[in-house]
Structure 1
């Protein structure tokens, strides 16, 4: 007859369990640090927050912070990655939901981005820090460089989606893709930044659909979004100048 060994007679099992507990505890500490950092960044501003401030708020030592993160920039980037990964997941979900309608997927993603800024406290707080509490000075200059590269990547991603929309004949082939990508990003970022600064100015969550549809209409029918209007714009500028 086979009898299961007691736990004390199976050290390899005990080690596995202890390993899982240690890993879980490490992840919890890491998240604890991130939560505390977000709280302190929002309260003091990023440049005015020290690692000591974060350690005190998290109830850990500076050594614990250095075990998980190199510096404040590393902490901020980890916070940003956590929040933005959800947007990437949503974008993929809508692409799968609308495989032959990339414009519909783009529309739904834009609506989600606006609405989740209101409904997701972590995203709202992080964007508030990025727009209003983050000074790119001193050791944070490298953070500015990182986000500049992310902005360029986002432009490229937007342009890729717009090309797909043209390929599926959902947008005019004469669309100025570069201009459209710049305008789209400025439009969404502007709506979010202004709302974060003064939430009572407009109901971003309830107006999100109409705001996005207004921009989609501009992409579809806005004459100044066309490549052929570049020459006309130059001619008008020259006429005004004269």
Structure 2
């Protein structure tokens, strides 16, 4: 075998390193592009699902129609979302607010003043809901679900999770002797759920006849304060 002289060997080494570098760079670009394309596909599916679910209803909208509306294949849709419940979960997470995470963390770790926390978060939640039509559409879409369906059972699970968080907050309030003795923590959580859902539903039903951040917040705060134990 012919032996390469040093300049030739160095040339081949540099060529090899250059090819490897180019290949690595190209691979990195392709991976980044592939990730960006996948994220764009997922966003297109969520946009299409939100639009169709609001226009036609969740039960009446098959996932195949969502795929067509999004301009993707059925395989692409099922690669991102295993079923309709998974898609609904992603839509729900899309509009999740930091205040919801704050309530969840307080329920897990404890809070010195659960009622003060609820008053603060209620104002932010109502203001965001009043300002963003997309959240209003999502709320009406979710509340139009038929209970005895896959999506309806998923929503029931979400409501049960929120109810559990509120109940734990009310248990903390009782431990701090802040909860009115007239109600059990579970009953206080029911009051909170009914008040918030009732406010949002009536606001939408009435054609937004009152201000959520005005009268709505006043009602919510008065209801929260009514759960406090009387001052000693």
Shorter-chain TM-score bucket reads 0.7 to 0.9
Q: What's the CA shift string for 1:140-170, capped at 9, x where partnerless?
A: x122222223322222211111122233444
1:124 to 117, 136, 140: 136
1:110 to 122, 127, 137: 122
Match of 1:227 in 2: none
Q: Secondary structure at the match of 1:200?
A: coil
2:96 to 74, 84, 109: 84
Q: Which runs of 5+ in 2 are unaligned?
A: 1-13
Alignment check: 8 A CA contact 2:53 2:61 kept: yes
1:161-172 paired onto structure 2 within 5 Å: 161-172=169-180
Match of 2:146 in 1: 135
Change (3 A) 1:90 1:115: farther
1:18-97 paired onto structure 2 within 5 Å: 18-84=30-96, 86-91=98-103
Which deviates the most, 120-129 or 79-88? 79-88
Q: Distance in 1 between matches of 2:103 and 2:163?
A: 15
Change (3 A) 1:177 1:136: closer
Match of 2:5 in 1: none
Compute the TM-score of the two structures, normalised by the length of structure 1: 0.75
Residues paired across the two proteins, number:
213
1:196-207 paired onto structure 2 within 5 Å: 196-207=204-215
Compute the TM-score of the two structures, normalised by the length of structure 2: 0.78
Q: Which runs of 5+ in 1 are unaligned?
A: 223-242
Q: Secondary structure at the match of 2:164?
A: helix
1:157 aligned onto 2:165: yes
Q: Distance in 1 between matches of 2:209 and 2:137?
A: 18
Change (3 A) 1:36 1:205: farther
Alignment check: 8 A CA contact 1:102 1:161 kept: yes
1:101 to 103, 109, 113: 113
Deviation of 1:207 after TM superposition, in Å, equals 2.5
Deviation of 1:180 after TM superposition, in Å, equals 0.7
Change (3 A) 1:11 1:145: same
Change (3 A) 1:179 1:149: same
Alignment check: 8 A CA contact 2:58 2:141 kept: yes
Match of 2:152 in 1: 144
Which deviates the most, 197-206 or 167-176? 167-176
Structure number with larger C-alpha Rg = 2
Alignment check: 8 A CA contact 1:115 1:208 kept: no
1:181 aligned onto 2:189: yes
Hey, which bits of structure 1, 4+ residues long, moved more than 4 A?
Answer: 5-8, 92-95
Q: Distance in 2 between matches of 1:18 and 1:173?
A: 63
Alignment check: 8 A CA contact 1:106 1:161 kept: no
